[in-house]
Chains A and B, each alone.
Chain A
Amino acid sequence: NAGVTQTPKFRVLKTGQSMTLLCAQDMNHEYMYWYRQDPGMGLRLIHYSVGEGTTAKGEVPDGYNVSRLKKQNFLLGLESAAPSQTSVYFCASNGQGATTDTQYFGPGTRLTVL
């Protein structure tokens, strides 16, 4: 049982390049989330999904797209990276209705956009 895993761990992009971050969970969770963490700002929700085939916008969705083709995977895409997207990205998952179980987090992806 690996929990929540993220690929890659580190990445450096040039402005305008694209990339996809992969999140995988093996806990059969319905809900999955993508956050970004910036110094002094805590975690902000980018997009989330409440089940396979569904996605919804969070607090800071601009410049990102997501897909949830399989229940266990949640992909975050940057079509044209900008320096403002330099951040640490965290994926999390949560079982539907399991409020006391709250969210399980992956180890993060550190992205630098030059």
Chain B
Amino acid sequence: GEDVEQSLFLSVREGDSSVINCTYTDSSSTYLYWYKQEPGAGLQLLTYIFSNMDMKQDQRLTVLLNKKDKHLSLRIADTQTGDSAIYFCAEMAGGYNKLIFGAGTRLAVHP
């Protein structure tokens, strides 16, 4: 079945770049997403990438997709304390816009 895997924790210094990695299994996924969850809140869509793209840039965010290796990454440039949150990778699978989520990567930003 479909599965999405992420490392659980990442710690970076303020101002550095953060790279969060994700692997997925469903090669037929048309869209892949990155969501952000701040403490006590729901999930907020950060960005998405269509499966025929290799890269997408949106201000401080860069998404890289390696479809051959089924690997997705999210790079956050100039990481700030406000970026501290849990980041979820998700793939669309199984119809009706259903999403399969990874376990989430907790990003901690320290001075």
Q: Please report A residues at the B interface, Cβ cutoff 8 Å.
A: 4, 31, 33, 40-45, 48, 50, 56, 58, 90, 92, 94, 98-100, 102-108
Contact = CB atoms under 8 A, between A and B. Distances in A.
Given A102-B97, A104-B45, 11 more contacts: A4-B42, A40-B8, A41-B103, A42-B4, A42-B101, A43-B43, A102-B99, A103-B97, A105-B44, A107-B42, A108-B41
Nearest to A6: B42
Contact of A106 (B4, B42, B45, B92): B42
Given A42-B103, A105-B43, A100 B98 contact: no
B88 interface: yes
B45 A102 contact: yes
B99 A42 contact: no
Contacts of B101: 42-44
B25 interface: no
Contacts of B88: 42-43
